[in-house]
Chain A
Amino acid sequence: MTSVRIQQMADLGDPADEAVILAADRSLLRKFGGGLLDRALSPEAIKKAEAFISSASNVLYLDCMDEAARLQPMVGLLGKGGLDAERSLKRIIATSFAIKSKAGQSGYDLVSTLAKSLLLRCEELSAAQITPSTLKIITWHAQSIKRILELNIKGLGGEAGRALLVEIDRLRVAA
C-alpha cells in the first residue's frame, strides 16, 4: 500500500510549495529482488543482447545510406527559398537526427558526429537565414555523410576522420 505524506518543499531546496509525496513503489523490488534479477540478467544474457545489437548494425547502416541519399535533394531545395526551403529545413533536421542515432548505434561514429553537427547548425537557422555560405556548409555536411557511408568508414575514420573533425570545429567557431 502506498503511503502518502505532505511535506513543505522548502526543505527540498525548492521555493516554498506544498507537495504530496508517495512512498517509493517497491512492488517490483519485492517481486524481483533477492538475487532473482541477478540470475535473470546474467552476464551471459547481456552478452547475447550485445550480440543482437551487433547483428543489427548492418541493417542500420543500410538505412543510414538511404537517409543520406534522401538528404541530397532536400539540401538542393534549401537554396530555392520560400516554403520549399522551410519544409526542407525541417526534413533535414529530422533526417540528420535519424542518421545521428542510427550511425552511432551501428558504429559509424564519424557519420554520427557529422550528422550531429548538421543537426545543431540547422536547428539554429530559419529558412530566411539561409545564405550561400550557410548552404555551402550544409551541402558539405550532407556530402561528407554520404561519402563516408559509401566508403563504409566505421569509427572515427583515422587520419581523414580527424581532418574532418577539425573542419567541423573550424566551421563551428566560424559560425
Chain B
Amino acid sequence: MVGDIPLKTTTDFLSMPPTILPNLSILIVDDERLIQNLVYGVLSSLGFTNITVASSGRKALDKISTNKFDFIITDWRMDDLDGIDVVQHIRKSQKPPLCNTPIIMLTGNSEAHHVKTAISAGVNGYLIKPFSAEQLVKRIRTVIEEPRDFVMSRNFTGPDRRHVNQPPPEGTERRKLHRNK
C-alpha cells in the first residue's frame, strides 16, 4: 500500500525486466496525499523508481537544495508555498542546472489565464487534472525529447516560449526598422 491507494502494481513491477527509467529522478510536489499517491503510483507503473515526494512547497525547496532532480511535477494550490512560488524560486536561483530543471505543473486550475500565469512563471509543461497516464507520458517525453533553450532576462526566466521552427512574430522587422531610425 502507498497511503490509501493500493499500489497493486508493485509486485508486477518487481517482476519486470530492469528498464532505463530508474536512472531518472523525479520530484512530486503535492500537499494532497491521495494525489501524491496517485501520481506516485502512475509513475511506478510506468517503471520509474527514483521518485521523491514533497508534501508542501517549502518541503520541495528543502529537497531541491540538497538533491538534483531530472524533472519536477508540481501541484499549484498548496497552503504554505504554492506551485507558482516553487517554480519562480527555482527559475530565479540563476544557478544551472537547478534553475533550468524541467517542471511540469499538474493542477486542477483549468482556465486559460492559469495556463498563461504558469507559462510566465517558467513551467515546461502544463497538465490539468483529471489526467491520464498517456497525457503524463506525453509531457514527460516532451521534456526529455524536445528540450528548449533557456532564457534568462529581466522579465522572464524559463524555457524559451517561442515556437520552435516558426518565424518570428509578424511586425518584428518593422519594429527593428523603427528603432534604428
Contact = CB atoms under 8 A, between A and B. Distances in A.
Interface of A: 2, 9-14, 16-26, 28-29, 31-33, 36-37, 39-41, 45-46, 48-53, 55-56, 59-60, 63, 94, 97-98, 100-102, 104-106, 112, 116
A19 B151 contact: yes
Contacts of B150: 21-22, 24-25
7 contacts: A37-B20, A40-B20, A52-B7, A52-B8, A56-B5, A56-B38, A101-B108
B45 A45 contact: yes
Given A12-B162, A13-B169, A101-B129, A21 B151 contact: yes
B12 A48 contact: yes
B154 A48 contact: no
B143 interface: yes
A101 B171 CA distance: 41
A49 B133 contact: yes
A31 B152 CA distance: 26
Nearest to A102: B34
B85 interface: no
A108 to B, nearest CB: 10
Given A52-B45, A104-B130, A97 B77 contact: yes
B141 A105 contact: no
Nearest to A119: B108
Interface in B25-43: 32, 34-35, 37-38, 41-43
A19 B152 contact: yes
A53 B129 CA distance: 12
A56 B155 contact: no
Nearest to A23: B149
Contacts of B37: 56
Given A11-B176, A24-B149, A49-B43, 16 more contacts: A11-B168, A14-B153, A14-B156, A16-B179, A19-B152, A19-B153, A20-B151, A21-B160, A25-B97, A32-B23, A37-B141, A37-B145, A46-B137, A48-B46, A55-B6, A101-B35
Contacts of B151: 19-21
Contacts of A17: 153-155
Interface string B142-175: 0111011111111110001010000011011001
Contacts of A106: 130
Closest A-B pairs by Cβ, 9 of them? A49-B133, A19-B153, A101-B108, A104-B130, A24-B147, A49-B45, A105-B130, A22-B150, A13-B169
